[in-house]
Amino acid sequence: MATLRPFIGYRPLPQYAALVAAPPYDVLTSEEARAQAAHDPFSFLHVGKPEIDLPPDVDLYDPRVYDKGRENLQRFISEGILQSDATPSFYLYAQTMGSHTQYGIVGCASVEEYLNNTIKKHELTRKDKEDDRTRHVRVTNAHTGPIFLTYRSRPPLDAIVDRVRVKVPENDFVASDGIRHQLWVLSDIGTIQAIRSEFSSVSSLYVADGHHRSAAAARVGKEMAEADLNRTGQEEYNFFLAVLFPHTQLRILDYNRVVKDLSGHTPEAFLKRVRDAFDTRSAGEAVRPSRKGEFGMYLGGHWYTLTARPTLPATTDPVEKLDVSILQKDLLGPILGIEDVRTSKRIDFVGGIRGLRELERRVNSGDMSVAFSLFPTSVDELLDIADAGKIMPPKSTWFEPKLRDGMVVHFLT
């Protein structure tokens, strides 16, 4: 059964909330973050990507980077930009993007349950990125950005959210990208007990987004527990910051592919190979696939629609059924010679939020030779794969809207 517990959160005062809240550390390059925060001393990018406050030639993993992150976080507190709540609380975090609103309960999930797989994963982590976030948590002594968890929706939890969301939120602002962010503080004992009780009946939680952060939080928590001879299991380091959304509210966008070269093929020869593997037809405009098994391909200034052909026997493996797996098995591997998209330098990935024009731009610029648009992976596919104990191929899901860092901070001690 899943554990979710309240905590004493540090959050920006209402007048600072819009200035503080920032995109997560891994969606901006250092250069983009430096430009975005250049005239905003309150931006939480100064904590999540503290290299922006050091000379550009400083290595991203230099100890000075993490020290600067800790220094900036403490500055935010000492200057009163972030203040703590008086008692352990849950929080309700709402994000509105266009007509879509999702409501997540902010609390602390269990390191032990992460390690024993009550909290299920669907992606592998890269050692360098996991090490980076581990150092960041260790040095700042804080979880500065939440892990995005999901659970199979439960009507009683939906009812709690419905009672809260009609009240006036503590923080309410629209970010520069047009996404609205709202935060309510849930500090009354009755609500806290109801939330804890409901989650105690949830059999599994799932990491939707934030596999590196969750792995880092678990590593640091385990380290601190092993070093604490007087531990009780209730110390804050045994828990990590998370936002938990019901699976019915999640929105997954397409995660598309661009490839640098045609593996020695001429465009004509490559297209012939593709026609041999997929039902292929020319398209007069950019192709956004409308169903599973359909792909868009941009080559030589032209769009094509590719449709996968049924293969026998039909697979029961939930990973092999994914469109990203079909594209890999039938095209990227045998035709373009890309055997491992995790390590290949010839392939790059473009989140659906950037649109199909970004695929065209990458190819038209000469940076890439061919692009592929995909139908989004579904939430049910993600849950089925996690329940089966399997791992998705890299870059299978792009969640939108993204959680903002700096909405609430959790300290380990």
pLDDT in tens, the chain (413 residues): 899 999 999 999 999 999 999 999 988 999 999 999 999 999 999 999 999 999 999 999 999 999 999 999 999 999 999 999 999 999 999 999 999 999 999 999 999 999 999 999 999 898 999 999 999 999 999 999 999 999 999 999 999 999 999 999 999 999 999 999 999 999 999 999 999 999 999 999 999 999 999 999 999 999 999 999 999 999 999 999 999 999 999 999 999 999 999 999 999 999 999 999 999 999 989 999 999 999 999 999 999 999 998 865 567 889 999 999 999 999 999 999 999 998 899 999 999 999 999 999 999 999 999 999 999 999 999 999 999 999 999 899 999 999 999 999 999 99
Instruction: Indicate whether 49 and 171 sit together in one domain.
Output: yes
For CA atoms 127, 4, 7, 210, the dihedral sign is positive
Residue 381 forms part of a structural domain: no
Instruction: Determine the distance from the C-alpha atom of residue 76 to the mean position of all C-alpha atoms in its chain, rounded to a whole number.
Output: 25
List Cβ neighbours of 74 (8 Å cut-off, separation of 6 or more): none
In a domain, 16, yes or no: yes
Domain identity same for 292 and 147: no
Whether 160 and 301 share a structural domain: no
* Residue 4 three-state SS: strand
Say if 384 falls within a structural domain: no
Same domain, 144 and 259: no
Same domain, 90 and 102: yes
**Structural domain boundaries, residue 60:** 4-251+400-411
In a domain, residue 390? The reply is no
Question: Cα separation of 201 and 203, whole Å?
Answer: 6
**DSSP letters of 368-395?**
-SEEEEEPPPPHHHHHHHHHTT--PPTT
Indicate the number of domains in the chain. 2
Same domain, 235 and 279: no
Joined together, the tokens standing for residue 352 give: 């659906």
Is 37 among the domain residues? Answer: yes
Residues 166 and 211 in one domain: yes
301 inside domain: yes
Would residue 385 count as lying in a domain?
no
CATH number of the domain that 287 lies in?
Answer: 3.30.1760
3-state secondary structure of 413: coil
Q: What is the DSSP letter of 201?
A: T
- Residues 208, 333, single domain; the answer is no
- Residue 393 domain-assigned (yes or no): no
Q: Are residues 361 and 407 in the same domain?
A: no
Same domain, 222 and 350: no
Residues 370 and 405 in one domain: no
The reported pLDDT for the residue numbered 311 is 67
Q: What's the CA gap between 33 and 177, in Å, rounded?
A: 15
Dihedral class, residue 355 (left if φ above 0, else alpha if ψ from -120 to 50, else beta): left
Domain match, 268 and 247 both: no
Rounded Cα–Cα distance for residues 72 and 32 (Å): 19
